[in-house]
Amino acid sequence: MKLRNIAIIAHVDHGKTTLVDALLKQSGSVRDNQRVDERAMDSNDLERERGITILAKATSVVWKDVRINIVDTPGHADFGGEVERILNMVDGAVLLVDSAEGPMPQTKFVVGKALKVGLRPIVAVNKIDRPDARPDEVVNEVFDLFAALDATDEQLDFPILYGSGRDGWMNFDPAGPKEEGLAPLFDLVLRHVPEPKVEDGPFRMIGTILEANPFLGRIITGRIASGSVKPNQAVKVLSRDGALLEQGRISKILAFRGLERQPIEEAHAGDIVAIAGLSKGTVADTFCDPAVNEPLPAQPIDPPTVTMSFLVNDSPLAGTEGDKVTSRVIRDRLLREAEGNVALKVEESSDKDSFFVSGRGELQLSVLIETMRREGFELAVSRPRVVMKRDENGQLLEPVEEVVIDVDEEHAGVVVQKMSERKAEMIELRPSGGGRQRLVFHAPTRGLIGYQSELLTDTRGTAVMNRLFHAYEPYKGEIGGRVNGVLIANEPGEAVAYALWNLEDRGPMIIEPGTKVYQGMIVGIHTRDNDLEVNVLKGKKLTNIRAAGKDDAVKLTPPIRMTLERALSWIQEDELVEVTPKSIRLRKLYLDPHERKRFEKQKFAGAA
């Protein structure tokens, strides 16, 4: 059967996964009476909760006797490592752009990568039914973006479709007709996307997606570059530098058929398949016939920019809520994650009880922590820190990001002020329609840690921020941190409502009555800039003499809810977030007050 391999690329929330749903339905891959979840390709629990794609996934449809392999990619910059690998598997791409928002930072990132590997994208202007749609301007912006990214004349001559993935139609005219559904898109893919390039020689395939299966073991997905492969065939695995990693036999070959993966007896060059049976081969390795000695070239991956410490949980409540608590178990889990995620880097510390995990951004790392937490892990994590570098002259360099903020005009002033405090440099300010403005900054990654929640507070939840790694630039100088100190529990026990009520004038609480606390645990935010030890266990003294006034029930102000992302961005260098399957607690690095004072003295002595 003839083949086409395409990726669907776009910025987050521009409708990739919804479009794939419609493609599956209209190609007949899903029966009319079959119950299919909305955004069927987002199979992971976290993807469904957050409404974003985290892992790239493949599917296939048949149109006019041609099998079209489709890869749905993540739209968030933190998961850009997934997109970079996927583009090696495909011969074409459908670039989805929102008809109102136009090209966004992540659009720029994925288009740049697609143009670099020589793809000629099809541009689909999605969500054409939006009341603030501006399709003509968006197409001009896409053309300008292609030109700015040094596209060739062939790539600049891109075909354009307009439509709505949710309503299941695409056409060459923004007005329709809509009756043809997605047939114009299918036909354009067959005409515009070339057949897979097939090289001569024995079986070779580069690993692109890795997953673990409880029955089949490691499953590697990739595109076969040359030759063919059958179950029980002998193969070997070569690393990127040509070293032999392992030899073995393929136990099963799985092909993508709609939403299912089906075993097949033979797969040929050009097809995207998943193979099982090997225990060491991973992403970017070459799986090949024993006669092959040269690995296939793998695309270099952008470096990680943010790092965090993952520590064994040593709090007094350790082991009470999770069953995976030892450093060995945490180490194995992190190394397993790093195997399948090339944008992640894991290093062991000298004391073997903590690990440095580096990634593309806070979101990527917080998704990893949330996944581990749901698997039953208990661990403590530090505040995210940026990965610094030095150039050949010894000058300190730090990562700088391009930040695009869409905000209502009335809030633009406070955004500009807050960003300038974070050493950001404004590049552009222009109206983006509907009384909104688009602000573009170059800002150091350090200054953006924790800014998302502050931005939403400042703009009453109306701002949308998008970030993308820009470059390493000279160090911008000190950036002010958190202005408030914290309230710290001074005894272990269960928090009492009366004690919390008495402490309300000291600052807002982050715990509820009945919460288990321990010495050194953070229970609230101090109104001043220093830390304060408080007693949250002190109940009301009971006597047999009635009070003259009626004893009213204690009315507490609701506590501030600390989500994982908020906690990670809020804590300081001397604080940790304790993560368990049931709780997220904040604590001081040193639980004992004497040790904390000693640490403070050393810090001041070092600064002096």
319: annotated binding-site residue? no
Task: Report DSSP letters for 253-274, one per residue.
Answer: EEEEEBTEEEE-S-EETT-EEE
CA atoms of 258 and 269, how far apart (whole Å): 20
Q: Which residue's entry shows tokens 């006797």?
A: 65
Write phi, then psi, for 124 (nearest 5 degrees). Answer: -115, 115
DSSP single-letter state for residue 449: T
128: annotated binding-site residue? yes
107: annotated binding-site residue? no
126: annotated binding-site residue? yes
Instruction: Specify the 3-state DSSP secondary structure of 104.
Output: coil
Residue 474 burial class via C-beta count within 10 angstroms: exposed 0-12, middle 13-18, buried 19 and up: exposed
Residue 84 burial class via C-beta count within 10 angstroms: exposed 0-12, middle 13-18, buried 19 and up: buried
CA atoms of 349 and 347, how far apart (whole Å): 7
18: annotated binding-site residue? yes
CA atoms of 346 and 337, how far apart (whole Å): 9
Question: Residue 437: which H helix or E strand, with range?
Answer: strand 436-444
Measured over the CA atoms of residue 188, residue 192, residue 193 and residue 197, the dihedral's sign is positive
Write phi, then psi, for 480 (nearest 5 degrees). Answer: -60, 145
Give strand ranges (E) for 197-251: 204-213, 217-226, 228-229, 234-238, 244-249
Q: Encoding tokens for residue 376?
A: 């039953």
Instruction: Specify the 3-state DSSP secondary structure of 342.
Output: coil
16: annotated binding-site residue? yes
The answer to whether the beta carbons of residues 61 and 256 sit under 8 Å apart is no
Q: Encoding tokens for residue 50?
A: 């957050």
113: annotated binding-site residue? no
- Name residues whose C-beta falls within 8 Å of residue 258's C-beta, 6 or more positions apart in sequence: 24, 29, 30, 59, 60, 61
Q: Encoding tokens for residue 13?
A: 């929330």
Which residues, in sequence order, are bridge partners of residue 57?
72
- Name residues whose C-beta falls within 8 Å of residue 368's C-beta, 6 or more positions apart in sequence: 337, 344, 357, 359
65: annotated binding-site residue? no
136: annotated binding-site residue? no
CA atoms of 257 and 73, how far apart (whole Å): 18
Question: Residue 215: which H helix or E strand, with range?
Answer: none
SS3 percent helix, strand, coil of the chain, rounded to 5, is 25, 30, 45
Q: Which residue's entry shows tokens 């092959």?
A: 292
Write phi, then psi, for 348 (nearest 5 degrees). Answer: -90, 145
CA atoms of 192 and 494, how far apart (whole Å): 66
Q: Which residue's entry shows tokens 């304790």?
A: 578
526: annotated binding-site residue? no
For residue 88, how far is the Cα from the chain centroid?
20
The answer to whether the beta carbons of residues 312 and 240 sit under 8 Å apart is no
The answer to whether the beta carbons of residues 269 and 228 sit under 8 Å apart is yes
Binding-site members for GTP are 13-18, 126-129
Binding-site members are 13-18, 126-129
